[in-house]
Amino acid sequence: MAFFLHQRPTVSDPAPSTSATGGRFIFLDGLRGVALILMVVNHTSRWWMDVSMGWWRYYLVYGSMTLPGPIFLFLVGFCLPISFRRERATAGPAPRALGKYVGRGLQIILAGLLLNVLVFPEDPVWGGGVLQTIGLSIIVLAPALWILHHRAARWALLALAALIYLSFAWLFDDLVGWLPNHPTVAQIWFLDFPPWPWISAALIGLVAGWVWLDARSGRARAEARYFWVAAAFGLACLVGYFAWDSWMQTSPRISFKRDFMLNRHWTPRGATNLLIVGGVACSLSLAYWVMEVKRRRLGWFVILGETAFMLYFVHQLIVLTLANQALGMRFNHWGLYWLANVVLMVALVYLGKAWLAIKRATRQLPLVRRGVPPGTPTRP
């Protein structure tokens, strides 16, 4: 852990380079694409199959829930320093730049509320969700960008992340008894991936992302060492989790019963955190190794990652609103279920391609009106 906090930036502290066009890091888009796939599988396993599919369905639901949400929230924090440093290297971020992050966070929160209207009309529009937690995390974490160059600040933020999670664990029994008498609070703040304690994942990502950029702005060996340490740390967490699982021998194995269930929603507990931290760290390192070191673009994953925000909306409209509710479709056969998922994934990739083409055309339109030739690069 000390390694990730003690990286020193170079004197010039240049803007980070990138292995992709448009100022994006393709390994982060690839990892985000993997998280989207897992989230889609989680939703289809819950909305396209019945409990008659037995324990394999149960394990699929649980297994596909443990990583995508944490990856998305971790990447929220991990990616914030990228735009911050890029602006600092060009114009120098003034305090007004904070408004950009606040505006972005509010847009995502409003998008989450719109999703409630479109996909969950039977629930209150103000209900919480992962998008609301992501938006709130951006707003809350943004001021910390101005102090992260201090090593003490990085330690303090990691301590705060631990305290937020531990306070939730300590007060969990009290919350179980308190929330039924406060349904509005429960609906807004304690549904899918609630801010308390999930903002901890974004805080950890914020520190990890800053230190990664320090390593990247220095020698190549420093960045490689960063990801080797991350992979080793993640692997140690996974070994620890499965050793604990073998020793505990609970029934059922690897299940929701081991974790916190508050207001009918899941939060990891105890050793499950080792599974999540290990999975996120190893996934991040593997994505870097495959896409940065080995230069494997894995274009479909990148497309899914680049358009994850839009596809998060669309796939729920397809999986729940259209297929489940409107058409009453069920795939209570493993072969048909996985075939339907493959068809859905292909459709989402091409929807993502179309969305990117529309965005490119939209960016080029003002240039065409000014007489700039089509295809001229635009600011990302």
Query: pLDDT for 1-12, tens place per residue?
Result: 444 444 444 333
Q: Specify whether the CB–CB gap between 18 and 50 falls below 8 A.
A: no
The region of weakest confidence among 28-37, 47-56, 200-209, 241-250 is 241-250
Residues 261 and 240 in one domain: yes
Its pTM surpasses 0.85: yes
How far from 230 is each of 10, 75, 111, 279, CA to CA, in Å?
21, 15, 33, 11
Residues 142 and 267 in one domain: no
Residue 266's SS3 state is strand
How much is the pLDDT for 6? Answer: 44
Residues 345 and 323 in one domain: yes
Contacts of residue 345, defined as CB under 8 A and 6 or more positions apart, other chains included, come to 37, 40
Of 48 and 10, more confident:
48
Q: How many helices (H) and strands (E) does the chain have?
A: 15, 2
Beta bridge partners of 267: 260
Contacts of residue 144, defined as CB under 8 A and 6 or more positions apart, other chains included, come to 153, 157, 206
Structure tokens at 109: 């929160």
Residue 269's SS3 state is coil
Residues 78 and 209 in one domain: yes
- Residue range(s) defining the domain that contains residue 260: 221-297
Q: For residue 262, give the H/E element and its range.
A: strand 260-262
79-129 pLDDT per residue, tens: 999 988 887 766 555 556 788 899 999 999 999 999 999 999 888 899 999
Residues 148 and 209 in one domain: yes
Domain boundary among 297, 314, 337: 297
Classify residue 19: in a domain, yes or no.
no
Structure tokens at 44: 């289809």
Domain boundary among 255, 273, 297: 297
Number of domains in the chain: 3
Rounded to whole angstroms, the Cα distance separating 20 from 28 reads 11
Q: Specify whether the CB–CB gap between 29 and 68 falls below 8 A.
A: no
Classify residue 157: in a domain, yes or no.
yes
Q: What is the mean pLDDT of the chain?
A: 87
